[in-house]
Amino acid sequence: ETGVTQSPTHLIKTRGQQVTLRCSSQSGHNTVSWYQQALGQGPQFIFQYYREEENGRGNFPPRFSGLQFPNYSSELNVNALELDDSALYLCASSSPGGIKENTIYFGEGSWLTVV
Amino acid sequence: QKEVEQNSGPLSVPEGAIASLNCTYSDRGSQSFFWYRQYSGKSPELIMFIYSNGDKEDGRFTAQLNKASQYVSLLIRDSQPSDSATYLCAVKPHGGSQGNLIFGKGTKLSVKP
């Protein structure tokens, strides 16, 4: 148990639709990152939120967007879903500062299938 | 393009043997290195992190880092069938934001009873 919770755990969407995935970070962790993991691949960094601002982004198009709330929880929104968006979406939180600041802890993930 | 390379496997070892998992990375400025274990259908869980050259031991696990060779390894002693999983190597690139790690594709380990 990492203390990072995600919802929903599984969902199926139709191509062109929009989806919102939610994440509650571990207590005391103010930084939330989102990753996409396609089948047979390692997780790929989508973006990171710190103090409600996006402060790092991977190679993902603008239709991937997010929010972070004052309680550090976060949302990932994906618009105009494509078949290739089918993947496990992972939320990760990390602690501020210190030697462990680069250590991230994943939630259980949200499995998205686009049909 | 900053990359992390791992042999996809599968790596098969008998129960009780030492499993050796390897990883190379391209960003010479990387400072932090991580090993995650991922069971089928589950999310990755952190096993170890290492920052300094040399070895770091935690129970049956030993992480080894050689920054000059840009090489990280994970040794699992006394391998158990419950260690069967995919092992992901991750690297924090130089200049990357706090939660930005670059992952390899993972090595699938199978421990045979």
3-state secondary structure B19-50: EEEEEEECCCCCCEEEEEEECCCCCCEEEEEE
**Closest chain B C-alpha to A57 CA, distance in angstroms:** 8
**Closest chain B C-alpha to A13 CA, distance in angstroms:** 20
Least confident of A84-93, B26-35, B56-65: B26-35
Residue A35 three-state SS:
strand
pLDDT tens, position by position, B31-45:
889 999 999 999 999
Measured CA to CA, the distance from residue B90 to residue B30 in angstroms comes to 10
Q: How confident is the model at residue A100 (pLDDT cuts 50, 70, 90)?
A: low
- Taking only residues 34 to 53 of chain B, the set having a beta carbon closer than 8 angstroms to any beta carbon of chain A reads 34, 36, 42-46, 49, 51
Tell whether B1 lies on the interface with A, counting CB pairs under 8 A. no
Question: Best of A45, A90, A102 to disrupt the B interface by mutation (most B CBs within 10 Å)?
Answer: A102
**Closest chain B C-alpha to A15 CA, distance in angstroms:** 23
Tokens for A55? 């402060």
Q: Please name every residue paired with A104 in a beta bridge, in sequence order, or none if there are none.
A: A94
The verdict on a CB contact (< 8 Å) between B99 and A45 is yes
pLDDT of A99 strictly over 90:
no
Q: How many CB atoms lie within 10 A of CB A53?
A: 8
pLDDT tens, position by position, B42-93:
999 999 999 888 999 999 999 999 999 999 999 999 999 999 999 999 999 8
pLDDT value for A42: 96
